[in-house]
């Protein structure tokens, strides 16, 4: 194995509309320029030494994009330097600690990990690599066999805390992350796994003084970690509900391992409150099926089909939770009260920037963001339907490629639809019934990316390329291309 890896990539981007197409900038760590321009990325890292019980790794990734024209901010500098990754990790057996800024590991990979995931969600609807990284600390338990189960039952998880560093409605908001997985593995062919991927936004300073800040102290941290409501010092909303902004996803994964191929099915179901966690929002979620050959040199080695549906959100009705005097109504005393609808994924009334970082959705990029009249960027589209196809392999068994084809129907949110007035909100519509009220904006996005490798002395030189297209009613009709070189040693 390599003790040290260094790489340098220089890339240019050009499009017919002036804006880089959807698949040119989505799930690219938030680094690609949003308009015609260029990107440079320099990486250096030392990976784990898997032969040892006690291991360490470290890495740094520095990037800069250049976009000469920005009509929304003509006085801004065309050069945008960024710290992409800066981290150090320690591992002892199945225990790991990551400190700093680091990309999340991608899943559902194709012929080469450098091409990224074939999935829109990259295996995690809550956190793909669509936005810039955050600094923080993550404690991980890698898969550990439960005693007395014959190594058939395994547990794993993460406990993490980060801080946002972008310009947002609540400046300096903190992020608590909790992930837990339980897996049953026959150790032959079949396995099944269930998991929870949770986040909570808390702390920070609201831009509007009318909002009560969440103080950063041990009491509030305990409330955040346990999903408890605020103390008397908190806002009325936080006293009625959980302190902070909570959301996440529940996951089911099943797989079959054959000698020559693997087949994986996954359901990733988002939630934004207790009704979603109680499965009131079924059938919402991302449904993924991935077929992968062990031989990655085939013309087609991986095929992924993915269906997204987030239209229901536990229903079209969410009644007022307080009486005329502002007292909270108790659902347990009056179960005719419907307080479970309109989950409004990845948004929040107090943490108005929602689950975004540097203006980009942290999770699946089909949750499009937008900026309102007050200048607040948040998730603008959380009701959509989509079908996605991902293919990967190697041209002539030498040059890895990835093809992404995505068809989506986008509706905005229940209360702020893309098509004004076209919404099922408060209509009583059920997801299994015909829907004649909602009207969405149809969109098609495609991307073909890859590289041609050349051996260059002790290193490797890759000629990287990308061809992209957007067509539809949400994004402007657009054709784009990227081209560049990547040197690795």
pLDDT at 332 (0 to 100) = 46
Say if residues 262 and 217 touch (Cβ distance below 8 Å).
Answer: no
CA distance 1 to 76: 44
pLDDT at 242 (0 to 100) = 85
Categorize the per-residue pLDDT at 111 as very low, low, confident or very high, splitting at 50, 70 and 90. very high
Over range 224-228, report the average pLDDT.
Answer: 90
Categorize the per-residue pLDDT at 406 as very low, low, confident or very high, splitting at 50, 70 and 90. very high
- Read off the tokens for 400: 């890895």
pLDDT at 331 (0 to 100) = 45
Q: How long is the chain? A: 489
Q: Where are the domains of the chain?
A: 89-456+466-479
Question: Residue 234 phi/psi, 5° resolution?
Answer: -85, 175
Using H for helix, E for strand and C for coil, what is the string for the chain? CCCCEEEEEEEEEEECCCECCHHHHCCCCCCCCCECEEEEEEEEEECCCCCCCEEEEEEEEEEEEECCCCCCCCCCCCEEEEEEEEEEEEEECCEEEEEEECCCCCCCECCCHHHCECCCCCCCCCCCCCCCCCCEEEEEEEEEECCCCCCCEEEEEEEEEEECCCCCCEECCEEEEEEEEEEEECCCCEEEEEEEEEEEEECCEECCCCCCCCCCCHHHHHHHHHCCCCCCCCCHHHHHCCCCEEEEEEEEEEEEECCCEEEEEEEEEEECCHHHHCCCCCCCEEEEEEEEECCCCCCCCEEEEEEEECCCCCCCCCCCCECCCCCECCCCCCCCCCCCCCCCCCCCCCCCCCCEECCEECCCCCCCEEECCCCCEEECCCCEEEEEEEEEEEECCCEEEEEEEEEEEECECCCCECCCCCCCCCCCCCCCCCCCCCCCEEEEEEEEEEEEEEEECCEEEEEEEEEEEEEECCCCCEEEEEEEEEEEC
Say if residues 265 and 275 touch (Cβ distance below 8 Å).
Answer: no
pLDDT, tens digit (0-9, with 9 covering 90-100), for 305-364: 999 999 999 988 865 555 555 555 554 455 455 556 789 999 998 999 999 999 999 999
Of 81-95, 230-244, 457-471, give the lowest mean pLDDT range.
230-244
pLDDT at 325 (0 to 100) = 57
Q: Is the pLDDT of residue 42 over 90?
A: yes
Architecture of the structural domain at 89-456+466-479: Beta Barrel (2.40)
Say if residues 248 and 199 touch (Cβ distance below 8 Å).
Answer: yes
In this prediction the pTM is 0.92
pLDDT, tens digit (0-9, with 9 covering 90-100), for 357-400: 999 999 999 999 999 877 889 999 999 999 999 999 999 999 99
CA distance 352 to 295: 47
pLDDT above 90 coverage of the chain, percent:
80
pLDDT, tens digit (0-9, with 9 covering 90-100), for 253-280: 999 999 999 999 999 999 987 665 678 8
Over range 93-97, report the average pLDDT.
Answer: 97
CA distance 222 to 220: 5
């Amino acid at each position: 194995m390599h003790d040290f890896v260094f790489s340098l990539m220089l890339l240019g981007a050009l499009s017919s509309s002036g804006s880089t197409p959807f698949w040119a900038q989505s799930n690219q760590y938030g680094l690609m320029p949003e308009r015609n321009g260029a990107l440079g990325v320099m990486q250096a890292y030392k990976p784990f030494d898997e032969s040892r019980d006690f291991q360490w790794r470290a890495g740094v990734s520095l990037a800069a994009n250049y976009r000469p024209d920005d009509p929304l901010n003509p006085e801004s500098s065309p050069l945008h330097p960024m710290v992409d990754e800066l981290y150090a990790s320690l591992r002892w057996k199945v225990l790991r600690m990551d400190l700093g800024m680091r990309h999340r590991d991608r899943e559902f990979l194709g012929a080469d990990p450098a091409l990224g995931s074939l999935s829109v969600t990259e295996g995690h609807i809550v956190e793909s690599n669509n936005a810039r990284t955050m600094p923080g600390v993550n404690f991980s338990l890698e898969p550990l066999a439960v005693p007395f189960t014959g190594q058939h039952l395994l547990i794993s998880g993460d406990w993490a805390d980060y801080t946002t560093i972008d310009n947002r409605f609540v400046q300096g908001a903190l992020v608590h992350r909790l992930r837990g997985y339980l897996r049953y593995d026959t150790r032959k062919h079949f396995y099944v796994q269930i998991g929870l991927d949770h986040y909570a936004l808390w702390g920070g300073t609201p831009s509007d003084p009318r909002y009560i800040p969440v103080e950063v102290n041990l009491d509030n941290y305990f409330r955040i970690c346990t999903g408890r409501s605020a103390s008397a010092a908190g806002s009325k909303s936080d006293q009625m509900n959980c302190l902070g902004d909570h959301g996440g996803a529940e996951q089911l994964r099943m797989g079959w391992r054959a000698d020559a191929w693997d087949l994986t099915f996954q359901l990733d179901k988002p939630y934004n409150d207790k009704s979603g966690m109680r499965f009131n929002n079924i059938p919402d979620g991302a449904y993924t099926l991935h077929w992968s050959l062990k031989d990655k040199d085939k013309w087609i080695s991986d095929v992924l089909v993915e269906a997204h549906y987030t239209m229901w959100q536990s229903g079209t009705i969410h009644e007022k939770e307080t009486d005329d005097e502002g007292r909270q109504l108790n659902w347990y005393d009056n179960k005719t009260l419907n307080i479970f609808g309109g989950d409004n994924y990845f948004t929040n009334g107090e943490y108005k920037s929602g689950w975004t970082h540097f203006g980009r959705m942290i999770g699946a990029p089909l949750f499009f963001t937008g900026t309102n009249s007050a200048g607040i960027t948040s998730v603008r589209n959380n009701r959509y339907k989509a079908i996605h196809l991902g293919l990967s392999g190697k041209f002539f068994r030498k040059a890895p490629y990835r093809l992404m084809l995505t068809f989506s129907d986008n509706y905005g949110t229940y209360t702020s639809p893309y098509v004004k007035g076209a919404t099922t909100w408060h209509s009583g519509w059920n997801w299994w019934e015909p829907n004649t009220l909602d009207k969405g904006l149809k969109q098609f996005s495609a991307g073909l990316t890859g590289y041609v490798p050349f051996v260059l002395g002790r290193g490797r030189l890759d000629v990287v390329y990308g061809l992209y297209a957007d067509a539809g009613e949400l994004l402007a009709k657009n054709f784009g291309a990227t081209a560049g070189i990547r040197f690795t040693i």
